[in-house]
């Protein structure tokens, strides 16, 4: 069965949406989101990725409208301007840009490629990935790795964690301050390491698993201690700066826990938020989210412009390779199905001929081998020209020819044939949406169709004399 499969994606990210909108579009459990998408009619593959500044999901369906319908649930809580729906090719290109760090709030940051790999593993375990998304995601990871090894896109770049520290250093006095980091994951670790290099006097690292926080505290060049996440409220009472980056589904710091904390500068990088936004109304408490980091990240963006241009060129190159891969696989699927259908016809007709000849007791084992060889040779020779034409049609984005060829050469084909609508959804520029009979015959137009069975069949086994084949066998095969 040939199933083209189109990718449809939806994203709610920092470039178009607010922190609240990203949170509204995020799922509590990515595996559950993938399972829900797979349960949607028409969805064959599904993938989702969520970070502190984006929530994205992708599906593979036979038609793009099915994909848009399946992803509508993610976009529902968000205003229309905050959601970007991506058709097939735009989604493919976006995944490459995402992995390369070009879509990150901090241009070129390294954290995103690790997050993408983690999301891929989650999708695999949830059985969400099939051949189309697997190819697309592996190509994206490849581009991300190339970008970081072949360009300077991540050279000297700050991450969100270090950008938060830069913002804190600009907005408040860190000399002799006590800092509290919520979370000991990758972003929390980066923030802890960055703030330990400033003039703070004391660093507290709160994490659900204390040994992880202890490891960080033991490695940073300042007086640091690890505490449990349950002690974060008490620690916030004596902290001057709080940077939050846990993966908790609930608030880690409630508004009342900061009510008597006095002057406290907070930056919440978590998604969903670690600090209750209501705490911003408390006297002396200031809370910033990732939107406040735009100035810091813009400076990094300016320094990375040349490298970003190199990465864009790399993406153009890899994008064309990916499209070529998809074309080749789609053509191969069509060709394979064509040959399978021909083999079914061949087996049926050869079986019928053998039965009739057996009834006359005139067939020897040699004759059987000759007939089988003849049938194989006929199939191969008759399908050689269509095979060549199908490969050329795929290379030229001529899916109308592939469709018509399948109808001509596979009358018993039992799967959906590529349609003009599906071609349009793939944004194939060269597809002819008004199929004509002449267009359809292009698959075999450069070959001559034999007027009848050959007098002396080609492809006979070595040592077999054509004269040994009974004439009525050839006539029987010709009649069929």
User: Residue 70 and residue 7: Cα distance in Å, rounded?
Assistant: 12
* Residue 74 in this model has a pLDDT that exceeds 80: yes
pLDDT-based confidence at 425, cuts 50/70/90? very low
- 471-479 and 305-359 helices, crossing angle to 10°: 130
Tell me the per-residue pLDDT of 228-259, one tens digit each, with 9 for 90 and over: 999 999 999 999 999 999 989 999 999 999 99
Question: Which pair of structure tokens corresponds to residue 306?
Answer: 């040349």
Digit-coded pLDDT (tens) for 347-370:
999 988 888 888 877 778 888 888
CB of 87 closer than 8 Å to CB of 425: yes
- Classify residue 351 by its DSSP letter: H
3-state DSSP: the chain helix, strand, coil percent, rounded to 5? 55, 10, 35
With a cut of 70, say whether residue 419 has pLDDT above it: no
pLDDT, residue 410, reads: 53
pTM given for the model: 0.67
Mean pLDDT of 173-186: 95
Task: Tell me which of 40 and 298 has the higher pLDDT.
Answer: 40
CA distance 461 to 463: 6
In 178-304, where does DSSP find H-type helix?
Answer: 186-196, 210-219, 232-236, 255-258, 294-303
Q: Read off the pLDDT of residues 113-165 as tens digits, 9 standing for 90 and up.
A: 999 999 999 999 999 999 999 999 999 999 999 999 999 998 865 688 888 99
282 token code pair = 């408390």
Give how far the C-alpha of residue 246 lies from the chain's centroid of Cα atoms, to the nearest Å. Answer: 26
* List of residues 6+ apart from 465 with CB closer than 8 A: none
What pLDDT, on a 0 to 100 scale, did the predictor assign at position 211? Answer: 95
Residue 462 scores a pLDDT above 50: no
Among residues 202, 209, 272, 214, the alpha carbon closest in space to that of 244 is found at 272
Is residue 75 within 8 A of residue 25, CB to CB? The reply is yes
Percent of the chain with pLDDT over 90: 56
| Residues 334-350 as b or e (16 or more Cβ within 10 Å = b) | bbebbbebbeeebeeeb
Looking at the annotation, which residues are catalytic? 52
Cα-Cα-Cα-Cα dihedral sign, residues 127, 133, 139, 143: negative
128/447 Cα distance (integer angstroms): 43
Comparing 328 with 9, the larger pLDDT belongs to 9
Q: Angle 79-77-50 (CA atoms, 0-180°, nearest 5)?
A: 100
Higher pLDDT, 415 or 86: 86
- Check residue 300 and give its pLDDT: 77
């Amino acid at each position: 069965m040939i199933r083209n499969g189109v990718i449809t994606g939806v994203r709610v990210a920092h470039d178009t949406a607010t922190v609240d909108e990203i949170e509204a579009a995020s799922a509590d459990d990515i595996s559950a989101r993938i399972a829900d998408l797979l349960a949607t009619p028409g969805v064959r593959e599904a993938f989702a990725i969520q970070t502190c500044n984006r929530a994205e999901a992708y599906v593979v369906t036979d038609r793009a409208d099915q994909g848009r319908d399946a992803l509508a649930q993610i976009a529902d809580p968000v205003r229309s301007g905050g959601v970007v729906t991506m058709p097939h090719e735009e989604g493919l290109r976006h995944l490459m840009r995402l992995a390369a760090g070009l879509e990150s709030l901090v241009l070129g940051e390294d954290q995103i490629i690790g997050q993408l790999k983690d999301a891929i593993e989650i999708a695999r375990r949830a059985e969400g990935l099939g051949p189309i998304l697997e190819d697309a995601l592996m190509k994206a990871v490849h581009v991300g790795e190339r970008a970081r090894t072949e360009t300077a896109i991540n050279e000297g770049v700050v991450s969100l964690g270090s950008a938060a520290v830069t913002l804190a250093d600009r907005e408040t006095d860190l000399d002799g301050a006590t800092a509290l980091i919520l979370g000991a994951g990758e972003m929390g670790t980066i923030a802890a390491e960055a703030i330990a290099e400033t003039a703070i006097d004391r660093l507290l690292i709160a994490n659900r698993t204390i040994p992880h926080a202890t490891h960080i505290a033991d490695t940073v060049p300042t007086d640091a201690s690890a505490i449990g996440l349950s002690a974060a409220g008490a620690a916030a009472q004596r902290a001057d700066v709080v940077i939050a980056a846990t993966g908790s589904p609930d608030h880690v710091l409630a508004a009342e826990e900061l009510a008597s904390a006095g002057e406290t500068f907070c930056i919440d990088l978590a998604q969903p938020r670690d600090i209750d936004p209501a705490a911003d109304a408390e006297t002396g408490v200031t809370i910033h989210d990732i939107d406040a980091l735009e100035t810091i990240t813009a400076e990094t963006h300016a320094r990375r412009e040349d490298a970003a241009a190199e990465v864009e060129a790399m993406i153009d190159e890899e994008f064309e390779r990916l499209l070529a891969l998809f074309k080749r696989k789609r053509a191969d699927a069509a060709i394979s199905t064509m040959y399978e259908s021909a083999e079914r016809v061949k087996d049926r007709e050869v079986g019928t001929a053998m039965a009739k000849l057996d009834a006359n007791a005139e067939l020897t084992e040699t004759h059987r081998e000759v007939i089988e060889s003849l049938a194989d040779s006929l199939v191969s020779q008759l399908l050689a020209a269509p095979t060549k034409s199908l490969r050329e049609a795929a290379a030229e984005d001529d899916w109308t020819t592939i469709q018509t060829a399948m109808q001509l050469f596979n009358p018993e084909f039992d799967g959906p044939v590529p349609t003009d609508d599906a071609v349009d959804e793939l944004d194939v520029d060269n597809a002819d949406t008004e199929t004509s009979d002449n267009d359809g015959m292009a698959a075999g137009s450069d070959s001559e169709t034999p007027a009848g069975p050959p007098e002396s069949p080609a492809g006979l086994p070595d040592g077999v004399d054509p004269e040994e084949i009974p004439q009525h066998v050839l006539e029987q095969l010709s009649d069929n």
